[in-house]
């Protein structure tokens, strides 16, 4: 090839590269997996309308969103599980407010919040500690009840006291499905659950908890948010993690356990899934299951370079070890 021809080819290639730069610069970013961002994401873009980010992209706290003129976008806040309609240019900690933290919910970062934490399902307790429902709110109008066995107990009495009705059943096991013949929980109402342990006719101990069936309008909003997440066609791992933020914002442990365990059953090797599931079991007060998830995440992280996730797992195991050294399970 002649020298003049080589120069001409080089100029043409340079022109093409220069011509494509603004086009490439205007291509919206796609960051729909948590390992694609160098931050703890604050939320996800749920609808078109942003100049810089495609639908489904994760956004870091304080990161600028460039909403098209006169438009708006839907944005899922991970801290609250709520979808916001944004027309301004920023997503900050003020936009995604932190949810109210109830003292009845355990937190990894505070050992003072876990008064009902249980080391596991060991037999030999002094009282029939209720272990299910995991937490007060529920979507189930006929929730199951489970408790830890009491040494020497020959029967248990389960009682529901609700504003408009009450019932009780005597059983000889430590789990009871909600009887079909009994009236279901009513939307927006709270019922008290009582478990009494007996040895023949002698009362050995008792435990109480409450359950609250979410109002219909709140259930509708939750399910609508889940529907919007499904419409993004994310990977199963990402969809499960997003739904976890929605469910856990209302302390709906049943639903988040189901979603996270489903992706684990499908064979995921994502350490974040296991670590988050460990966090949720810890918050529900089930230490043995939490520890198993943290250990699995730690194993996967040996071949997955993620310092932030490794730190989270190590903190979880540290707190589990703290509780395992306590003399009692309450």
SS3 category, 253: helix
Instruction: Please give the full DSSP string across 152-211, using - where no structure is assigned.
Output: T--EEEEEEE-SS-EEEEEESSSEEPPPTTSPPPPTT-EEEEEEEEEETTEEEEEEEEEE
Query: pLDDT tens digit string along 228-272?
Result: 999 999 999 999 999 999 999 999 999 999 999 999 999 999 999
pLDDT at 204: 96
Q: What pLDDT does residue 327 have? A: 65
Helical pair 253-265 and 236-248, crossing angle rounded to 10 deg: 170
CA neighbours closer than 13 Å in the CB half-sphere of residue 41: 23
User: What pLDDT is stored for residue 19 in this prediction?
Assistant: 34
What's 110's DSSP letter? B
Q: Which positions of the chain have pLDDT values less than 50?
A: 6-25, 101-105, 110-113, 115-117, 119-123, 329-330
Q: What is the dihedral of CA 126, 132, 136, 138, to 10 degrees?
A: -170
pLDDT at 68: 85
The long-range contacts involving 316-320, CB below 8 angstroms and separated by at least 24 positions, are 316/108, 316/275, 316/278, 316/279, 316/282, 316/290, 317/291, 319/108, 319/111, 319/282, 320/282, 320/287, 320/290, 320/291, 320/294
CA-nearest of 153, 149, 201, 150 to 175 is 149
Domain locations along the chain = 111-213, 216-324
Q: Do domains 111-213 and 216-324 have the same CATH topology?
A: no
Nearest to 78 by CA among 99, 54, 47: 99
Please report which helix (H) or strand (E) contains residue 58, including its range: strand 58-60
Assess contact for 29 and 52: CB atoms under 8 A. Answer: yes
DSSP bridge partners of 177:
none
| Residue 124, phi then psi, degrees to nearest 5 | 115, 20
SS3 state at 15: helix
Is 216-324 a CATH 3.40.30.10 domain? no
Phi-psi domain of 233 (left: phi exceeds 0; alpha: psi -120 through 50; beta: other): left
Give the architecture (CATH level 2) of 111-213.
Sandwich (2.60)
Q: What's the rounded Cα separation, in Å, for the pair 145 and 249? A: 22
Residue pair 53/67 in contact by the 8 Å Cβ criterion: no
Residue 252 C-alpha from the chain's centroid: 8
* The model's pTM: 0.82
Whole-number Å distance between alpha carbons of 207 and 128: 6
- Residue 184 tokens, joined: 């279901």
């Amino acid at each position: 090839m002649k020298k003049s021809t080589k120069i001409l080819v080089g100029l043409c290639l340079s022109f093409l590269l220069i011509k494509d730069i603004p086009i490439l610069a205007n291509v919206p970013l796609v960051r729909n997996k948590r390992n694609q961002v160098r931050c703890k994401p604050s939320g996800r873009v749920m609808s078109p309308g942003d100049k810089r980010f495609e639908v489904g992209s994760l956004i870091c706290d304080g990161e600028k969103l460039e909403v098209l003129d006169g438009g708006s976008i839907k944005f899922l806040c991970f801290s609250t599980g709520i979808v916001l309609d944004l027309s301004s240019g920023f997503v900050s900690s003020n936009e995604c407010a932190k949810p109210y933290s109830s003292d009845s919910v355990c937190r990894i970062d505070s050992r003072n919040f876990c008064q009902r934490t249980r080391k596991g399902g060991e037999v030999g307790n002094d009282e029939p500690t209720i272990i299910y429902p995991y937490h007060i709110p529920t979507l189930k109008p006929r929730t199951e009840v489970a408790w830890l066995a009491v040494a020497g107990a020959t029967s248990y009495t389960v009682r529901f006291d609700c504003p408009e009705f009450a019932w009780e059943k005597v059983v000889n096991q430590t789990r009871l499905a909600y009887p079909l013949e009994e009236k279901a929980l009513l939307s927006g109402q709270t019922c008290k659950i009582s478990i009494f342990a007996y040895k023949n006719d002698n009362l050995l101990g008792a435990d109480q908890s409450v359950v609250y069936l979410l109002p219909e309008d709140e259930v509708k909003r939750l399910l609508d948010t889940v529907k919007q997440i499904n419409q993004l066609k994310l990977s199963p791992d990402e969809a499960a993690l997003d739904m976890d933020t929605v469910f856990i914002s209302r302390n709906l442990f049943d639903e988040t356990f189901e979603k996270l365990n489903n992706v684990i059953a499908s064979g995921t090797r994502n350490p974040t899934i296991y670590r988050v599931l460990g966090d949720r079991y810890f918050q529900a007060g089930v230490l043995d299951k939490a520890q198993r998830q943290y250990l699995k995440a730690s194993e996967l992280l040996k071949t997955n370079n993620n310092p932030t996730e490794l730190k989270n797992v190590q903190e979880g195991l540290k707190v589990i070890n703290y509780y395992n050294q306590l003399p009692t399970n309450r």
